[in-house]
Amino acid sequence: MRDIVVTLLVFGSLPYVLIRPYLGIYVWSWLSYMNPHRLGWGFAYNMPFAQIVAIVTLVSIFMSKEKKHFPITSLTIIWFVFLLWMAVTTFAAVYPEAAMEQFIKVLKIQFVTILTMLLINDREKLIGLIWVIIASIGFFGVKGGIFTLLTGGSFRVWGPPGSFIEDNNELALALLMIVPLIYFLSQQYEKKWIKYGLLAAVLLCLVSVIGSYSRGAFLATGAMLVFLFRNSKKKMLVASIVVLLVPLMLLFMPKKWDERMSTIKTYDQDRSALGRINAWHFSINVANARPSGGGFNIWTPQAFEAWAPNPDDIHVAHSIYFSVLGEHGWIGLILFLTILWLAWRNARWVALFSREHEGYVWAMQLASMIQVSLVAYMVGGAFLSLSYFDLPWHLIAITVVLRDYLTREQVAGVVASPEPAPEGDSGRGKRRKPSIGGPAPRW
């Protein structure tokens, strides 16, 4: 029955995608993040739904007469250079066939994510995309939070099978990254049932993160809360979240949860942590020996025999940084870090640009929450292999879209216009030119 429902929904959406290409981004995102076809056990389980939607979206782009605009910025240029460099490292890989297989998978994700910057180009479409993302991933957060409460935290929370976030650790980080986006959406609506429903989803997602038993997510949660407390005007709200979460962790969760979290302090005695450190040394050695790195799928017994301190302890990097370093060398890591830095700068620019203009408060709120999500990704990702996961790249793309949108509004004279705002927005008054080097925005 589930297979039939998913198939009908996907194929039923295709005519609408042909009319409005941006809907293809929505459908593809739903399939990519939620993996609804993997929730069944029949014919739909291995159907290439995402590929079908991507092809129809591409056809729709060529058929559509809508004006299209792709932002050419320093970030998008570096992004394309990174993709080209991954092509170079694939052809120069230690295992070219295995590397090419993974490179094609990464390219498919990157292709549709790049299309996001072409098709999602205004507020309504952006908010629609965020709804799709948080509904797709948040489904597992709400379900996992309820499961954790009902079972007293005795079992771990897992993600959708066959996806980037199947593992408990990856799911926990993805949930942490969408929590700020859910909070952003709660600020966009006046209806209490929507606002409170979204805030309830925030709490259940946080409970699910705790129920995942993920130590990396535990550290990322702490980093997020510190960043929020430092930059938020609503420090009491952040403090209240801490007050709610700490008793839950200490009193509600079973002893085995506390024992697992306590291993953070004794990482040098933890086999899993030592395996990751061995893989990190392996990545450094590969990058030093090969300027292009080892290429995708370098994590093999033969490669560890050649470059790892302990050749018998074979692990993937379990780190977005060392994963890129081992596969694409120092050049690849520099490009990857530059993209993250430019995305952060975009979000900061948007927040500074729009904070004094009521009609663009939504942009400030979104940019600020994306910064919080990036903090979670950059801290939690230090312990997980999620370098090519769709979500951070989608957030990076959104920072590009936001900055480009506000720049076009400024060029068109809309930002400085004293005329009444469109229906649903606050009025717009004159503002001063933002300074990127100014103080950090507070929300």
Listed in sequence order, the residues at least 6 apart from 48 whose beta carbon sits closer than 8 Å to its beta carbon are none
404, 365 contact by CB (below 8 A) = no
Residue 356: name the closest of 227, 443, 238 by CA: 443
Nearest CA to 106 out of 280, 295, 337 is that of 295
> Taking the alpha carbons of 267, 268, 270, 274 in that order, is the dihedral positive or negative?
positive
Taking the CB of residue 15, how many other CB atoms lie within 10 A of it?
10
Instruction: Give the pTM.
Output: 0.86
Q: How many CB atoms lie within 10 A of CB 100?
A: 17
Nearest to 249 by CA among 288, 195, 209: 209
Q: What distances in angstroms separate CA 23 from CA 30, 128, 338, one per listed residue?
A: 11, 9, 30
Q: Which of 117, 241, 172 is nearest to 383 (CA)?
A: 172
- Taking alpha carbons only, the member of 158, 133, 131, 154 closest to residue 143 is 158
* Residue 328 structure tokens: 């694409």
Q: Give the single-character DSSP code of 250.
A: I
pLDDT computed for residue 5 by the predictor = 85
Q: Integer distance in angstroms from the first to the last C-alpha of the chain?
A: 46
SS (H, E, C) 310-328: CCCCCCCCCCHHHHHHHHH
CA distances from 410 to 135, 142, 206, 360, 431 (A): 32, 40, 38, 12, 11
Question: Both tokens of residue 297?
Answer: 């799928």
One-letter identity of residue 278 = N
Closest listed residue to residue 360, CA positions, set 396, 414, 440, 436: 414
Give the DSSP H/E element, type plus range, for residue 330: helix 320-354
Q: Which residues of 241-251 are buried (b: 16+ CB within 10 A; e: fewer)?
A: beeebeebbee
Residue 340: CB partners within 8 Å, gap ≥ 6?
Answer: 374, 378, 396
User: CA-CA distance, 282 to 304, in Å (whole number)?
Assistant: 7
441 neighbors 348 (Cβ within 8 angstroms) = yes
Cα separation, 143 vs 150, whole angstroms: 11
Cβ atoms of 39 and 2 within 8 Å: the answer is yes
Give the separation between CA 168 and CA 252, rounded to whole angstroms.
19
Across 94-237, the runs of DSSP E, i.e. the strands, are none
Q: Residue type at 162?
A: G
- How much is the pLDDT for 77? 96
Alpha-carbon distance of 136 to 414, in angstroms, equals: 34
Q: Which amino acid is at 98?
A: A
Is residue 302 within 8 Å of 285, Cβ to Cβ? no
Distance (Å, whole) CA 389 – CA 117: 17
- Which H or E run contains 8? helix 2-19
Please name which of 144, 128, 123, 94 lies closest in space to residue 23, comparing C-alpha atoms.
Answer: 128
**C-beta separation of 156 from 168 below 8 A:** yes
Residue pLDDT tens, the chain, 443 long: 777 888 898 889 899 999 999 999 999 999 889 888 777 667 777 788 888 989 999 999 888 877 778 899 999 999 999 999 999 999 999 999 999 999 999 999 999 899 999 999 888 999 999 999 999 999 998 998 888 888 877 777 877 777 778 888 888 899 999 999 999 999 888 888 999 999 999 989 988 888 887 777 788 888 888 887 777 676 776 677 667 766 666 677 777 766 676 666 555 555 667 778 889 999 999 999 999 999 999 999 999 999 988 888 888 888 999 999 999 999 999 999 999 999 999 999 998 888 777 778 899 989 999 999 999 999 988 888 889 999 999 999 999 999 998 888 765 565 554 344 344 444 444 444 443 333 444 44
- To 10 degrees, what angle do helices 361-380 and 320-354 make? 160
**DSSP character at residue 188:** T
